[in-house]
Amino acid sequence: MESRSSSRPPFSSASRVVDLRSDTLTAPTAEMRHAMASAALGDDVFGEDPTTNLLQERVADLCGVEAALYVPSGSMGNLVSLRCMAGPGDEVICHADAHIFHYEVASLAAVAGIQARPVPGHWGVLDPESISAAVRPAFDTFPRSKVIALENTHNLAGGTVYPIDDIRSARKVADENGLKIHMDGARIFNASVASGVPVSEYCSLVDGLTFCFSKGLSCPVGSMVVGSRDFIKLAHRYRKMHGGGMRQTGVLTAACLVALDTMIDRLDDDHANARRLANGIKRISEHATVPENVQTNMVLVKTEQLGYTPSEFVEVMGVEGVKCLAYQRGTVRMVTHKDVSTYDIDYALERIDAVTR
């Protein structure tokens, strides 16, 4: 199809901006800001920040695990967790589209000396046979297989939920081969709200899980690593080694405590908005969204179906005041979140309709 973009002006005349690039854009609520300003503080490297200690206890409780650790980012949470489970010369089996493989600056290899073993999967899910086939035989010349890394929800697959039965199958392969399981659960609450599976059930099937407060939960900074007491003790050491030891973290973790009370159930609204967006786009062009059904808060748009390349579509929509990100395999990603209303979705749909007429 011939591109439609050349006839449009390269500047934004839009009076309204709807930012669908990521749920990381969410700003803290007034309640969070108030809690941050009045938080009780101490030096967290000494383990003396009362607000952070409370958060870590509450998160461990919620996840049904022994302990939890606050870290600056999801990327550090993944790196520290995997470094606890593997070391130089070891291998982590992951989905070929895993965030740890594509979007974390090769930190596994560059910082931890760990090799990723990417395995193709289906919408973010690995089948047990492919995992088994990727496990190395015990022989001196091979890297040592140590960990299976799963991502839930799966970012590049469009926010898909890792089905609980598939996690059980991965657990079986892990146990048969003496491997650990790490879950990159950056958006684990989206997965839980969408599937009805409690986060504690996900945690019960893995050896460690990282989730983010700085995405749909709307906090300005921070992620958690959760697992056994021994695992978290080691994670504490690697957090410090990677420069993640922070001082009066209560200023930040106060927002996370508010998020636990106010931000989880409302993720349902984001999912409903994502479905509304996808259904609206399908009305414009039936096969323009993937996967078939939106599961959480992401919509991947196959822009060729709308007459644009991904980068053209991003530019054209930017002019209309609707921001989105060019993604892989000819798609653009649109993410719904707290700071995007149903009216914003309808506005975005109206603009998509206008540029594709």
Q: Please report whether residue 75 would count as binding ligand TLP according to CB under 6 A.
A: yes
Q: By CB under 6 A, which span of 5-13, 54-62, 71-79, 270-278 interacts with ligand TLP?
A: 71-79
Distance in angstroms (rounded) separating the CA atoms of residues 110 and 22 = 26
* Separation in Å, CA 255 to CA 24, 51, 154, 215: 15, 10, 25, 13
* Shortest distance (Å) from residue 357 CB to ligand TLP: 30
The strands making up 67-71's β-sheet, listed across from edge to edge, are 67-71, 223-227, 208-212, 180-184, 144-151, 90-95, 115-119
Q: By CB under 6 A, which span of 74-82, 232-240, 251-259, 300-308 interacts with ligand TLP?
A: 74-82
* Shortest distance (Å) from residue 74 CB to ligand TLP: 3
* Shortest distance (Å) from residue 322 CB to ligand TLP: 17
Q: Please report whether residue 52 would count as binding ligand TLP according to CB under 6 A.
A: no
Determine the size of the site formed for ligand TLP (CB under 6 A): 15
Q: How far apart are the first and last CA of the chain?
A: 14
Q: Which of residues 100-159 bind ligand TLP (CB under 6 A)?
A: 103, 151, 155
State the residue number with the nearest CB to ligand TLP. 74
Which residues, listed in sequence order, are joined to residue 289 by a DSSP beta bridge? Answer: 301
List the x/- string, 11-30, binding to ligand TLP by CB under 6 A: -----------x-x------
What is the token pair recorded at 5? 């973009």
339 three-class SS: coil
Q: Are strands 325-326 and 331-335 parallel, antiparallel or unpaired?
A: antiparallel
Q: Are strands 223-227 and 180-184 parallel, antiparallel or unpaired?
A: unpaired
Question: Exactly one of 167, 186, 232, 345 binds ligand TLP (CB under 6 A); which one?
Answer: 186
* Shortest distance (Å) from residue 193 CB to ligand TLP: 16
Q: Which of residues 236-295 bind ligand TLP (CB under 6 A)?
A: none
List the x/- string, 193-222, binding to ligand TLP by CB under 6 A: -------------------x-x--------
Question: Exactly one of 44, 49, 97, 184 binds ligand TLP (CB under 6 A); which one?
Answer: 184
Phi-psi region of 267 (alpha: psi -120 to 50; beta: other; left: phi over 0): alpha
* Separation in Å, CA 206 to CA 46, 119, 149, 275, 301: 29, 19, 10, 30, 32
Q: Please report whether residue 190 would count as binding ligand TLP according to CB under 6 A.
A: no
Q: Are 222 and 256 in contact (CB under 8 A)?
A: yes
Phi-psi region of 130 (alpha: psi -120 to 50; beta: other; left: phi over 0): alpha
Question: Exactly one of 83, 95, 99, 351 binds ligand TLP (CB under 6 A); which one?
Answer: 99
Of 307 and 327, CB closest to ligand TLP: 327
Q: Are 5 and 312 in contact (CB under 8 A)?
A: yes
Of 132 and 328, CB closest to ligand TLP: 328
Binding site for ligand TLP (CB under 6 A): 22, 24, 73-75, 78, 99, 103, 151, 155, 184, 186, 212, 214, 223
